Chain A
Amino acid sequence: MPLWKEYFTPTTVAEALAIRSRYGHDALFVAGGTDLVLDMQHGNHAPVMALVDVTTIGALHQIVEAEDHVVIGAAVTHAEIESNPLVREHGTALTESCGVVGGPQVRNVGTIGGNVAHALPAADGTIGLLALNAEVQVSTFDGNLVNAVWQPLLSIFAGPGKNNLGDNQMVTAFRFHTRHLGQASAFDRIMRPQGVALPILGAAANLTLGDGGLRVAAATLAIGPAGPIPFRATAAEQILQDAVALDDALIERAVLAAQEQAELRTSKHRASKEYRHEMVAVLLQRVLSRSIERARRDF
């Protein structure tokens, strides 16, 4: 049984959404396909009538700076993000997270839009974007026109592997704010050496330091997998922002809060809940200290 019978290569968002609306559940968007094709081959996703390739839409390939934001099209590959100087300057956590997805051949094909739309709580690219407080552009087709709306990244996740986009909707871009003075981010993860596609745990921190680098003015922290959808460690963020001074004791308190808030699970092929609990501390300390070190270079 063929996994799909028709393969569309639209060149505009409107065309892509029109095809998808016409076919409903009988069509799927595909970008790099490095997750979707394997899921279909392994029987985790039923065959469909049609695949709609969104990488042929030229407008989804740009990385630009616009209105104090870095805007990244949904069909930009992990390799393109990894090597982009704009992203490295303003969103180091995303550079680092996209740089470890799969291997080079997969990064040359897999896209940031696919990474996010797949809605896995452990997805590296998603964790990087989440820490950057990124917004997602969702484009909706009403039969005639496409309406593109920026919304918080977390708003599109419905559960593990499920987004809440309709048949007439697609992810078309991401954006995050350009760097303020004293702001820096970092990503790291813990991974089995080979053969498992997802990490044991990934984490990213994005800090803005004030008072010449001596206190935290703003913090966003993302950890995954730590719940059914991508996870922001909001309790730890609050502790960091509320403190008058940035010291080791503060980081320890933030780590404890993150460990408490994270919903960790045991997964058969990756790690136990207990191991992940300890690794939350290891990873958060790493990404926080790297972010602090980078941010203090501004002072």
Chain B
Amino acid sequence: MAALTLTVNGVSHTLEIPANRFLAEVLRYDLGLTGTKLGCNEAECGACTVIVNGRSIDSCIFPALKAQGADVLTIEGVAQQWVQEHPAAGTNGDELAHLHPLQQAFVCHGATQCGYCTPGFIMQSKTLLDRTLEPTDDEIKHCLKDTYCRCTGYTAIVSSVKAAAEKMRTGVLPLPDLPDAIAPLEQIGQALPRPDAVDKVTGHARYADDYLFQDMLHGATLRSAHPHARILKIDASAALALPGVHAVLTYADVPGELRHGLVEYDWPAFAGGAYPARYVGDPIALVVADTPEQAHDALAHIQVAYEVLPAVTDPVAARSPEAPVLHPDRPTGNLLKHIKVRHGDIDKGFADADVIIERTYRTPRTEHAFLEPECSVAVPAGWDDPQYGQHDKLTIYVGSQIPYADRHQVARCLGLPEDAVRIKGTVMGGGFGGKEDIAGQVHAALAATVTGRPVKILYDRAESLRFHPKRHATLIRIKTGAKRDGRLTAVQAELYGDSGAYASLGEKVMTRATTHATGPYVMDSAQIDCYAMYTNNAPLRRVSRFWRHAVGVCR
């Protein structure tokens, strides 16, 4: 342990911290200043940007002891510092007047959407406006080069920085340019701020990892070392004997149904017992410990005996009769679904064509790259927290796109009636289709129930990338017949979608791909066959526009 003295937002603190702690951890977990966000944990995304002695830094990899004696400014202190330096700022009756001009502009110009990147953007932009109040577009882009946003497309952010600079120069905040409305109504046709925009620009919006419960434990997940393997034995005795470790949970600890899923119940909460690990993201055990470090360190002490099975990683190969079968209880083998479109007389269509073009296309799997990695915090029924109060039911705080489906799946796995489970949908740092499946919800709920204490499961970026479902990789063979005048006579297509180890929403996504394979065109005939296949890859699911881009490429 080492002593750290620093000033944060004008307040002096002295703390005893482990020498390997990073500044972001000190701010978030020791001082409770959770407005500073952790996105990538490797100095790429800028969500953790804070200002140390006047310079912006990525606090995620900034050893906290580097801030010894330093003056640190975080998103929570920006408005207060502005008002102190500009005493007249809050006196003109404007309800945003107590905020820094950057914060006002981000609210009024719609530059905060999911809001997870917003604190980093405001801190980093502030360093530019501290230097110049007439920033050019190029200077703004240069300044924000390593500060990432996944929602806005940056246009609103750039215009906000310029608007804030103008406000600081002239005292007047320019409003965004709106398209002309014939007759603006009270709401429609107006630039309305998001209801949660002020919370998001001040760092007060609470994402799941921002909930810090008293006596909270932390979970860490052991995932399969192989893409396809039977779990013969799990020996957690060495891990259980480590200081701080409260429990090591496996499939045998799940009281209800082991399998969950959005469309099909095919995804075990833990691989083991009747269910092999079917991809390298499959969880095998969950360690619950006093600190995240203890939980993660304990993973190396769990002994797993695997029987490695042959893996199939290509959707075309998965349809072969010789391919290893992932879900033996399914009558259709590795075929998740065969989706067909039949229209007109395909033979006549090609016979009528002047030109026939036949091509094969491949699209890669795509990561959603939401900036907030998945986090679930479960609080057991009956828990009374000094900050968050009494919890009458098992409650899971999670940034989720489908909280009701979460409730159903958690209740199913824990063997509880649905009304014994409450999902608190927190503010979510981007989803784009990537936060619909179960991530840590079931594990956290189980761990809280077993230990009787709140349990948080937070994934880092590397773990999130490894396990969570992505957009399908596809192989598309498409044959198109056309007349010389441009009319289409026939489209014949065969699509293979790699749905990965579990169904998730794979079949729905591939249905959309199938029905969009002809594009928006009228044609005499079409014959389309899509095979959504199980493989030993990470599960695949929708990314925002529900997949249509892939067939769009082929048009």
Contacts and interface: CB of A to CB of B under 8 A. Distances in A.
A4 B124 contact: no
A38 B65 contact: no
A108 B41 CA distance: 17
B145 A103 contact: yes
A103 B121 CA distance: 13
Interface in B1-56: 2, 18-20, 41-44, 46, 49, 55-56
A105 B49 contact: yes
A104 B142 CA distance: 8
B280 interface: no
A38 B146 CA distance: 16
Nearest to B146: A103
B63 A104 contact: no
Interface string A6-45: 1101000000000000000000001001100110010000
A7 B55 CA distance: 22
A38 B58 contact: no
Contacts of B44: 195
A33 B127 contact: no
Contact of A51 (B57, B63, B293): B63
B66 interface: yes
A37 B60 CA distance: 10
Given A4-B19, A104-B145, A9 B43 contact: no
A279 to B, nearest CB: 22
A118 to B, nearest CB: 15
B272 to A, nearest CB: 26
B63 A38 contact: no
Nearest to B462: A42
Interface string B300-331: 00000000000000000000000000000000
Interface in A92-112: 102-106, 108-109
Nearest to B40: A195
Contacts of A33: 61-63, 66
A217 interface: no
A79 interface: yes
Contact of B63 (A1, A7, A106, A108): A7
A109 B63 contact: no
B147 interface: yes
Interface residues on B, range: 20 to 34
A104 B44 CA distance: 11
A2 B18 contact: yes
B143 interface: yes
B66 A55 contact: yes
Contacts of B56: 104-105, 108
Interface residues of A, number: 27
Given A4-B19, A5-B19, A104-B145, A109 B62 contact: yes
Contacts of A1: 297
B19 A34 contact: no
A101 B287 CA distance: 39
A7 B64 CA distance: 10
B68 interface: yes
B19 A105 contact: no
A5 B62 contact: no
A53 interface: yes
A143 B271 CA distance: 58
Contact of B146 (A3, A5, A41, A105): A105
Nearest to B120: A105
Contacts of A102: 43, 146
B146 A109 contact: no
A145 to B, nearest CB: 28
A108 B55 contact: yes
Given A104-B124, A104-B143, A104-B145, A53 B65 contact: yes
Given A103-B145, A103-B147, A109 B65 contact: no
9 contacts: A2-B293, A7-B19, A7-B65, A37-B61, A103-B147, A104-B56, A104-B142, A105-B43, A109-B57
Interface of A: 1-7, 9, 30, 33-34, 37-38, 41, 51, 53, 55-56, 79, 102-106, 108-109, 195
Which 4 A-B pairs give the minimum distances between C-beta atoms?
A103-B146, A7-B19, A108-B55, A2-B20
Interface of B: 2, 18-20, 41-44, 46, 49, 55-58, 61-63, 65-66, 68, 124, 127, 142-143, 145-147, 293, 297
